[in-house]
Structure 1
Amino acid sequence: MPSRGQVQRLLAYGLDYEEAGHRLGVPAGQAFLIATGLPADGGDTLTTAERHRAGMPQESTQRLADPPAGKDGTRRWLRRRAVTDRGMRQAAEQWSARPKGERAPGDVHELTAVLTRDHDRVTGLLKQLKAIPGVTKGGTGADLARRESVVALIAQALESHEPAEQAHLWPAVRGGLDTGDRLADQAVDQENEAIGTLTALRGTSPDSEEFDELAERLESRMRRHVAFEDAVFARLRENLPQEDRERLGADVVGTWQSAPTVPHPHGRQD
């Protein structure tokens, strides 16, 4: 935490509270509080003595607590808050841009268990994407690059996940459940919507509001699709024999293993 002397020295050099706070790594309103002992949003209730306290600007201090008017001003304020808010930074930095866990460990063979594990990996990536602030939440250049990397990893995961489902899961659903055709058609429609959103997202600059909107849409569509598939998996476990599900699980893993290897966006391999 900066000291009062540090803030006041920067003010003496002619810096305002926004720039002083930026240099010291705290929001402007917090720099004002350190220097004066007063909250920035209390300008209308100050006593005469408080108004003449060292470090008090002549203009209203409310702007130090609130974002400035206008989209560009608000975006700059959010970006600066994101940089200086330690809790926000720690929440974003706890994620590493790669899927969690092994995709197909040797002790997991059954179809619904194999696919559920893969869903969990994609869901984890979507959580990473949501945790890292985008441009509309004041994300820094490094944040935007990380979001773009996570999107590339989601695309990489789905490049083999969806073909494996098309080849092995949905034929089993069509042949093994009395409403299988309807369920498979609905699932494929959902997949196409999500892939269309992902394709649009990959073609959009991460420093745009459209990227943030598409990222939210992708997360919503993928969450709905995973919930739908979970319900289908429950019916498969009730209607498809264990040995058939084991065989299909092995087929899915075989499809993944035979798929072309796609390099990690930052040069890493799992």
Structure 2
Amino acid sequence: MEHEADLIEELIADHREIDGLFEQFDERPPGCIERKLLLEALTIELVRHAVAEEMHLYPAVREHLENGAPRADYEIAEHSSIEERLKDLEGRDAEDRDLDRLVRELRTEVRAHVEDEERHLFPQLRDGAPPFVLAQLGQKARTAKNATLPRGHPRAPGIAPLNEILAPGVGLVDRVREQATNRGHPVTS
């Protein structure tokens, strides 16, 4: 029988995937269109990950950790800051002189957030929440991520709903968040 990742393992796997996208971005030469595509993929993954944490991790932090509510609020504020950086990057061309600096700043902020979660928050939650709860939340996070957006590189804009997310109009960050949270769509039972 194959082991399914619990919530913490699932989120750590996301962290590694996000770090890999940053590395791929760094490997491409400045001005290269692939960098813009990687930045779009990174944006999608960061927002998906943030939504998964906001839907499943932070409610568990509130419930299972002493003083969990202020900690969850702090983490959500960090997400807002990261999303603002992503929004600033949205309108930038691959040739933009500030692109490298802005991506470095984003990566620094994301790394600090990830390090804090992995060194402090995740061990506290592992000690505070029953394993079956973390396993259930891991399944819920996987289901939510898989149901909202296809993983992978945004080079295939003909694949729904990715074509809607990359369509012009509202910014990418807002479109991904809207799709991931099903905002604006009627709830079906």
- Decide: shared fold, TM above 0.5: yes
Cα distance between partner residues in 2 of 1:179 and 1:130: 38
Q: How many pairs were matched up?
A: 156
* Residue 127 of structure 1, CA deviation: 1.6
Query: Which residue of structure 2 lines up, in the alignment, with residue 84 of structure 1?
Result: none
Structure 1 residues 258 and 185 mapped into 2: Cα distance closer, same or farther (>3 Å)?
same
Select which of 226, 232, 257 maps to 2:121.
Answer: 232
User: Residue 145 of structure 2 is aligned with which of 256, 266, 269?
Assistant: 256
- Normalising by structure 1, we get a TM-score of 0.54
Cα offset, 1:107, TM superposition:
2.8
Q: CA deviation at 1:262?
A: 7.3
Deviations 1:85-127 (A, max 9, x none): xxxxxxxxxxxxxxxxxxxxx6333110011001110011112
Q: Secondary structure at the match of 2:98?
A: helix
Point out 4+ residue stretches in structure 1 off by more than 4 angstroms: none
- Please give the alpha-carbon distance, in whole angstroms, between the structure 1 residues aligned to 2:151 and 2:143: 16
Post-superposition shift, 1:263?
7.8
Q: After alignment, is 206-215 or 253-262 more displaced?
A: 253-262
> Which of 149, 153, 156 is residue 44 of structure 2 equivalent to?
156
Q: Return the alpha-carbon distance in structure 1 between the equivalents of residues 79 and 26 of structure 2.
A: 20
TM-score (norm 2): 0.76
Relative to structure 1, is the Cα distance of residues 262 and 123 closer, same or farther in structure 2, using a 3 angstrom cutoff? closer
Task: State whether structure 2 residue 78 is matched by structure 1 residue 177.
Answer: no
The structural deviation recorded for 1:210 is 1.6
1:124 paired residue number:
20
Aligned with residue 91 of structure 2, among 192, 203, 209: 203
Q: In 2, distance between residues paired with 1:131 and 1:121?
A: 15
| Deviation, structure 1 residue 261 | 3.8
Unaligned runs of 5+ in 1: 1-105, 135-140
Superposed CA RMSD in Å reads 1.9
The answer to whether the 8 A contact 1:187-1:228 is kept is no
Match of 2:171 in 1: none
User: Aligned residue for 2:33?
Assistant: 145
User: CA distance change for structure 1 residues 172 and 196 in 2, over 3 Å: closer, same or farther?
Assistant: same
Structure 1 contact 111–252 (Cα < 8 Å) conserved: yes
- Could you say which residue in structure 1 is the equivalent of 2:136? 247
Q: Distance in 2 between matches of 1:263 and 1:116?
A: 17
Question: Residue in 2 aligned with 1:95?
Answer: none
Per-residue CA deviations over 1:42-66 (Å, capped at 9, x if unaligned) read xxxxxxxxxxxxxxxxxxxxxxxxx
Percent identity between the two aligned chains: 27
Q: Where does the alignment leave 5 or more consecutive residues of structure 2 unmatched? A: 160-189
Shift in Å, 1:208: 1.5
SS at match of 2:58: helix
Which residue of 1 is the match for residue 29 of structure 2? 133
